[in-house]
């Protein structure tokens, strides 16, 4: 049986982002039989406009790559910050582009919440749950975890050195992978 594919998406464009460091680290924590792809095109996506999403042959190349990455994956893991009490606009734009395509419908999805703030970025992750629900993603609650990361937890290679984070992320990815495998996606 060919390897299964886990798509990792950071909701941050920020250089040195703890969310991107978490995704980079997560890429090395997948179980045997799984491969990883990381979406790095968020900054290239055009502003979402439903008028531009009428003909799949005419959508922007970055949108086509995003949709292909989702379609090719067996599960999706997201790590996004909260900005001004909500999802960052650029990440919400990425999610908006998934609504018109059907690639994420029924796709097992989860998130790593690395917020070290007292609010735990609760508003962003509540919003993420809402938006993923509208896209038809299959949210795997057992794989949605809070594992705080601070900038001091990031090593020179841009990975999270914290063993607590690595343990939590490994468990979350294993839960998502197990769910996707059992479900037979």
Percentage of the chain beyond pLDDT 70 is 98
Residue 21: pLDDT band (50, 70, 90) is very high
Closest CA to 165 of 9, 22, 12, 11: 22
Check pLDDT > 80 for residue 63.
Answer: yes
Q: Is the pLDDT of residue 118 over 90?
A: no
The mean pLDDT of the chain is 95
Task: Find the distance separating the first CA and the last CA of the chain, reported in whole Å.
Answer: 13
3-15 confidence digits (pLDDT tens)? 999 999 999 999 9
Q: Is the pLDDT of residue 125 over 70?
A: yes
């Amino acid at each position: 049986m060919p390897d299964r594919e886990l798509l990792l998406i950071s909701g941050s464009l920020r250089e040195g982002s703890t969310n991107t460091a978490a995704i980079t680290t997560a890429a090395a924590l997948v179980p045997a039989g799984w491969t990883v792809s990381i979406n790095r095109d968020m900054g290239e996506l055009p502003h979402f406009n439903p008028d531009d999403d009428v003909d799949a042959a005419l959508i922007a190349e970055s949108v086509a790559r995003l949709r292909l990455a989702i379609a090719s994956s067996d599960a999706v893991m997201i790590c996004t910050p909260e900005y001004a009490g909500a999802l960052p606009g650029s990440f919400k734009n990425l999610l908006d582009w998934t609504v018109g395509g059907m690639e994420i419908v029924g796709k097992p999805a989860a998130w790593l919440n690395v917020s070290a703030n007292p609010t735990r970025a609760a508003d962003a992750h509540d919003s993420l749950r809402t938006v993923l629900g509208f896209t038809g993603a299959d949210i795997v609650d057992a794989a949605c975890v809070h594992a705080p990361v601070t900038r001091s937890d990031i090593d020179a290679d841009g990975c999270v050195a914290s063993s607590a984070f690595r343990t939590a992320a490994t468990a979350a990815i294993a839960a998502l992978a197990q769910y996707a495998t059992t479900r037979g996606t």
